[in-house]
Amino acid sequence: MSGAALLVLADGRFPAGGHAHSGGAEEAVKAGRITDAASLEAFCRGRLHTAGLVAAALAAAAAAAPTPSNSDAAADAPDALPRRCGWPPRRLGRQLMRAARATWPDAELDSLAREFPKGAHQPVVLGLTARAAGLGAADAAYCAAYESVSGSASAVVRLLSLDPFEATAVLARVAPEVDRVVDRAVVAGLRVPGEGAGVLPSASAPLLEIGAEAHAGWGVRLFAS
Amino acid sequence: MHLDHSPHGPSAVSADARRADGARRALRVGLGGPVGSGKTATVAALCRALRDEFSLAVVTNDIYTREDAEFLLREAVLPPERITAVETGACPHTAIRDDISANLEAVEDLEDEVGPLDLVLVESGGDNLTATFSKGLVDAQIFVIDVAGGDDIPRKGGPGVTTADLLVVNKTDLAPYVGSDLARMAADAKAQRAELPVVFQSLRSEDGVREVAVWVREQLAAWTA
Ligand SMILES: Nc1nc2c(ncn2[C@@H]2O[C@H](COP(=O)(O)OP(=O)(O)OP(=O)(O)O)[C@@H](O)[C@H]2O)c(=O)[nH]1
Ligand SMILES: [Mg+2]
């Protein structure tokens, strides 16, 4: 664990494009599945244990041993990662890449950017960013797992005019589960160099994926996802 | 991407004046200002005035629709591949100031796909008087207000009115109907902006955008000098 650099990377104001995304929350609000703090909490819990876990494991793997093309391909394999758990991963990967290279200049990031000029998967970029920042696999997993819920919570503050204190209290209540998800993700991520990407968790969230597809077709929306 | 050819690392990821191939990138001009003041109308008029002289593209930032992009497409001010809409997650000023990644990506994609470009106009979603563009996104910014929003807006000031490279007071044709005192607006703007230029225009009149187009040509001349 490396203190302040982790805070810089995990800060919601880190300029990597996340502010325009709700992680599926906008669709869930419209469908009536998120109406208040309690249903936001249930939504966040679902995201955390599916999209959050997968992203955290990928980020941990990339942070531990960068074989970016392998892990990027693993992220694309349909059975390994639900491709659209409510974020458009490559677009956000490209945006994170820009911010990361400006913030922590690094040869590994440069070569990943060359290999994927239109963006590598966001959790893979996140893992390499953590390395560039001098952080470890657990730090990368923390960023991925936390961001899997924090973005949706702040989006719901705007979508439902939910009391911001209540939304933050939701994140605090989910925090112990974030810790457990990170533990699992790190164990899996650290096995990747020896055993291959097949050991990564592949929890999927079909409703989030269907919702993301539907949301992408809306004519009027506040968030990009 | 710019960085790969930069000998000194990624200090200027977004503001680099040169593209990866060494060519000078397009001048980027931002248009901000309150909702409905005439930003899109000014963009459309500028495109018509300048498109035969320069290679142009437009990025719009709608708050929750694609109206601005669709208006420009409907009016056929530019071919469709030269107009891109960015989604801003309910927070238009964030997308032009605090986290500019989606807008930078849109600008660079336009340059890659339809380039070489001389000028990219970036229209902000309608916002409040404090919304300004980051210098990492645009080289110059125009703040558009109108006479119908109240003739005390120049006196109220704020970063847009005070610091924009050009202040446009639009819809002067409506001044008699809404009781706005143009002389007072001019005096207040002068007091807020000292030597920075102010243009009063009506896009309802023949060649109403002429003065703004002259200003943009000056910016372009300085950029390519
Ligand atoms: N009378 C008059 N109407 C104008 C003028 N310029 C624009 N309008 C009208 O004002 C309305 C708003 O103009 P837009 O260009 O869409 O304003 P905008 O600043 O882009 O608005 P948002 O993007 O929604 O913030 C439209 O109906 C325009 O036709 C003008 O100079 N005079
Ligand atoms: Mg507009």
- Give the whole-angstrom CA distance, residue B207 versus residue B151: 24
* Average pLDDT estimate for B192-199: 96
Residue A220 counted as domain residue: no
* CATH number (domain holding residue B64): 3.40.50.300
Residue A138 counted as domain residue: yes
- pLDDT at position B9 is 34
Contact B87 A221 (CB under 8 A): yes
Q: Is B37 in the pocket of ligand 1 (CB under 6 A)?
A: yes
Sheet holding B198-200, edge to edge: B83-87, B56-62, B119-123, B27-32, B140-146, B166-170, B198-200
* CATH number (domain holding residue A86): 1.10.4190.10
- Residue pLDDT tens, chain A, 225 long: 568 999 999 999 999 999 999 999 999 999 999 999 999 999 999 999 999 999 999 999 999 986 655 566 666 654 444 444 445 678 899 999 999 999 999 999 999 999 988 889 999 999 999 999 999 999 999 999 999 999 999 999 999 999 999 999 999 999 999 999 999 999 999 999 889 889 999 898 999 999 999 999 998 888 999
| Domain containing residue B120 | 27-224
To the nearest whole angstrom, how far is the Cα of A113 from the nearest Cα of chain B? 8
Chain B touched by A164 (CB under 8 Å)? no
- Give the whole-angstrom CA distance, residue A20 versus residue B94: 9
Q: What is the ipTM of this complex?
A: 0.80
- Give the whole-angstrom CA distance, residue B123 versus residue A126: 30
Residue A140 counted as domain residue: yes
Q: What is the mean pLDDT of chain B?
A: 90
- Give the whole-angstrom CA distance, residue B100 versus residue A65: 30
- The closest alpha carbon to B14, from A132, A114, A95, belongs to A95
**pLDDT tier at B11, thresholds 50, 70, 90:** very low
Residue B14 counted as domain residue: no
Contact A19 B87 (CB under 8 A): no
- pLDDT at position B15 is 57
| Domain containing residue A54 | 3-214
- Give the whole-angstrom CA distance, residue A198 versus residue A192: 8
- The closest alpha carbon to B142, from B196, B206, B88, belongs to B196
Asked if residue B174 lies in contact with residue B203, where contact means CB atoms within 8 angstroms, the answer is no
Q: pLDDT tens digits, residue range B136-160?
A: 999 999 999 999 999 999 999 999 9
pTM: 0.87
Residue B3 counted as domain residue: no
Number of folded domains in chain A?
1
* Average pLDDT estimate for B4-27: 60
- Give the whole-angstrom CA distance, residue B112 versus residue B106: 10
Q: Is B87 in the pocket of ligand 1 (CB under 6 A)?
A: no
With a CB cutoff of 8 Å and minimum separation 6, the contacts of B24 are B17, B18, B223, B224
Q: Which residues of B touch A155 (CB under 8 A)?
A: 89-90
